[in-house]
Amino acid sequence: MAKGAPSLPSLLLLALSLPLLCARAFVPNARSTPFLPKNGSSSSKMSSSSAAAASAPFCIVVEAEIVPERVDEFLGLIEKDAVGSRAEPGCLRFDVLRSHNDPHKFFFYEMYKDTDAVQFHKEQPHFALWTNFKESGGVVRSVSHKADGIFL
């Protein structure tokens, strides 16, 4: 990594926070408070079956490194995936970001109403474009990070 270049954790933090900070006005029902259990408790201990888990949006940050010769193909299909995803009823956000340090590295920031919305997303034709691209060898490496939305 070049001297003074941001670290991967810094880039992930940016990928998570920048879209939320910059585009708040474009997010329907944007919240400035944390998602709390329906009983109003602010306890940091949440059971896996609690209403808190069910009420918080489900987020995914994907870090993908694309085969250099296939970047143009990737850009065409990921645009279709993003547009199709944003039209899904349970998709709250689908952003695609390109690294400043590596033009072959991309980040997707996805936010869904719940895990049912994620399952619906995975059944859509536009999602198949991405999975088929990965299966065809277009991706050097892809890592998905899953999280619950807290301050949105």
Query: What pLDDT was estimated at residue 56?
Result: 87
Q: Assign a CATH topology to domain 11-19+56-106+114-152.
A: Alpha-Beta Plaits (3.30.70)
Task: Tell me the CB-side half-sphere exposure of residue 45, using CA atoms within 13 A.
Answer: 0
**Four-point Cα dihedral 145, 127, 135, 16, nearest 10:** -20
pLDDT along the chain (152 residues), means of 10: 55 49 38 44 45 75 98 98 97 97 98 96 97 98 95 84
Complete DSSP assignment for 13-60: HHHHHHHHHHSGGGSTT--SSB---TT----S---TTSHHHHHSPEEE
Q: Which residue reads 């869904």 in tokens?
A: 112
Query: What pLDDT was estimated at residue 82?
Result: 97
Each domain of the chain, given as residue ranges in start order, spans: 11-19+56-106+114-152
Query: What pLDDT was estimated at residue 21?
Result: 40
* Residue 103 amino acid letter: P
Query: What pLDDT was estimated at residue 92?
Result: 97
Q: Rounded CA gap, 29 and 22, in Å?
A: 15
Query: What pLDDT was estimated at residue 49?
Result: 42
pTM above 0.85, yes or no: no
